[in-house]
Amino acid sequence: MPTSRLWQTLLAQPVMMCGLRPFFLLTAISALVCIPPWLLFYTGQAQVAQWLALMPGGPIVWHAHELVFGFGMAAVAGFLLVAVPEFTQSAPMGRHALAWLCLCWLAVRLVWLAAPALPLALSVGLMALAQAAFFALLLALVTPRLFSTAGRLHLAFLYALLALASLQAGFLWALCTEGEALRWLNAAVGALMALTIVAASRISMRIVNSRIVAGVLHPPLPGAAVYLARPPRRNFAIFTIALCSALEFFGAPEGVTGWCALAAAAAVLGLLNDWHIGRPLFNRWALGLYVCYWMLALGYALMGLTWLQAPWAPLTPTAGRHLLTIGTMGLSILVVMCIAGRQHCGHWLDQRVWVPLAALALLLSALLRAWAGMPAGAEHFERWLMASGLAWCLAFALYLWHMGAILFGPRQDGLQGCQEPANAHELGSGCG
């Protein structure tokens, strides 16, 4: 079959119908693919250890990069490709651009796999080309819409995306010059935390303020309490997170960075004051997003205590940072993929037990990984690490098992695109 026919066949598949479909699939697949080699490395599997040891920057750099710019950026792309057209009331993203974005993302992953067998300059150069193409295309798709009249309220998405693109460029430069690549990834975690606050504030207002019946979102009853994600609190939390990341990046005294991290934790806890409106908080979707804020606050609190050298705190900020990457980034991505992944594929929310089980598995993964980095958990570090990794894999395996067919398949309501379900009565059971 000619290449053009293969390309047209790909574009015609239901998985290319909506921007989140391929990228949410890639997010879940990457979550399952990048963790087992890391676990095998720590258990001493010789071939895996040798392969990871030859990665540019070493095993830790590969692991952190694939978690942030592989798993994390796939989820960011899937979210933005649907959220930006919805927020700006503009046309959906085209299938051709979506396919090219997916190919660029996959190309970076393939170069990482081949990197141990390539010269450093060649592997980093190929990564840079593919990653630059990915960010350039994503920015070209979202920037004009965000500068429209309706999009100016959502310019924070553009700023976060530009920050991530800049940090990725700095990381690749450090990798090529054998500089300190990990600090760029740590700063990227901070950028993702800020982006999480921006995105979660919009999603949570819809979820908390809706009356959810059999998975269907209905308007709230008259007189019901309303949750508002107030900009001053949100902006202050983002500012403290950005300041903490900058202080760590530029090597400020640990005491200064530690107090700033505690300020970030307090600012995030301050955001939770907006959430406390009573009963609407107590459904699985609202609680999942609510717990993400707690993981965010606890992560910065633990890092702050570490930098301040509290006697019972971990020796390094790694324990707290994993509360951010697993507990905040991982859990928020899972919850958003469960909500938006169904709604924009023609289904209402899933009421089955696998959803809270997957969320609990991720929460357990974050707590176990943080405990492994504490002095009390150091004696059995490998066991806690293995348990954390298996819980992470369980969460995303459950997602793929229950959501894979929905993301790959046609809509049940016969529509094309990213619209919410056309018939709430027929599609609200959440059973498939």
Alpha-carbon span 1 to 129, nearest angstrom = 29
Which helix (H) or strand (E) segment holds residue 391: the answer is helix 381-408
State mean pLDDT over 16-25. Answer: 95
How many Å apart are CA 85 and CA 406, to the nearest integer? Answer: 21
Number of domains in the chain: 1
Alpha-carbon distance 123 to 107, whole Å?
Answer: 11
State the pLDDT confidence band at 146, using cuts at 50, 70 and 90. Answer: very high
CA-based diameter of the chain, in Å? 66
Residue 432 pLDDT > 80 = no
Q: Note down the domain range covering 27.
A: 16-179
pLDDT value of position 5: 84
What percent helix, strand, coil does the chain show, rounded to 5? 75, 0, 25
User: Is residue 425's pLDDT more than 80?
Assistant: no
In a domain, 229, yes or no: no
Question: Which pLDDT tens digit goes with each residue over 334-353?
Answer: 999 999 999 999 899 999 99
Residue 47 pLDDT: 84
The mean pLDDT value for 167-181 works out to 94
Look up tokens 């606890």; give the residue: 298
- Mean pLDDT lowest among 133-142, 200-209, 388-397: 200-209
Q: Give the whole-angstrom CA distance, residue 367 versus residue 381.
A: 13
Residues 132-143, mean pLDDT to the nearest whole number: 97
Q: What is the mean pLDDT of residues 225-250?
A: 94
The mean per-residue pLDDT over the stretch 51-68 comes to 93
Tens of pLDDT, residue by residue over 275-312, are: 888 887 888 889 999 999 999 999 999 999 999 998 88
Question: 122 to each of 51, 167, 233, how far by Cα in Å?
Answer: 18, 20, 45
- Res 2: pLDDT: 52
Residue type, 88: T
User: Is the CA virtual torsion 325, 184, 112, 97 positive or negative?
Assistant: positive
For residue 340, the Cα-to-chain-centroid distance in whole angstroms is: 14
Any domain includes 165: yes
Average pLDDT of the chain is: 91
Q: Is the pLDDT of residue 210 over 90?
A: no
In a domain, 349, yes or no: no
Q: Is residue 83 part of a domain?
A: yes
Give the pLDDT score at 25.
97
Q: What pLDDT is recorded for position 369?
A: 95
What percentage of the chain reaches a pLDDT higher than 90? 70
What is the C-alpha to C-alpha distance for residues 95 and 107, in angstroms, rounded to an integer? 18
Question: What is the pLDDT, as a whole number, of residue 1?
Answer: 43
Burial of 28 (0-12, 13-18, 19+ CB in 10 A): buried
Residue 429 has pLDDT above 60, yes or no: no
Predicted confidence (pLDDT) at residue 75 exceeds the cutoff of 60: yes
- pLDDT, one tens digit per residue, over 372-407 is 999 888 888 999 999 999 999 999 999 999 999 999
Torsion of Cα atoms, 63 then 393 then 400 then 299, to 10°: -70
* Bridge partners (DSSP) listed for residue 129: none
**Average of per-residue pLDDT across 344-370:** 95
- Looking at per-residue pLDDT, the higher value among 426 and 244 belongs to 244
What local confidence, expressed as pLDDT, does residue 431 receive?
A: 47
Does residue 158 lie within any of the structural domains?
yes
Is residue 89 situated within a structural domain?
Answer: yes
- pLDDT > 70 in the chain, percent: 97
Mean predicted confidence (pLDDT) in 44-73: 91
Give the whole-angstrom CA distance, residue 182 versus residue 59. 11
pLDDT at 249 over 70: yes
CB 14 within 8 A of CB 410: yes
In 3D, which of 360, 355, 379 has the Cα closest to residue 431? 355
Token readout for 291 is 């717990």
> How many angstroms separate the CA atoms of 67 and 324, rounded?
12
d(CA 318, CA 314): 8
CB atoms within 10 A of CB 281: 17
pLDDT recorded at residue 427: 42
Q: What is the model's pLDDT at position 214? A: 81
Decide if 388 contacts 368 (C-beta within 8 A).
yes
- Average pLDDT of the segment spanning 101-129: 95
Q: Are 274 and 203 in contact (CB under 8 A)?
A: no
How far is the CA of 90 from the CAs of 111, 141, 207, 313, 421, in angstroms?
35, 11, 23, 49, 19
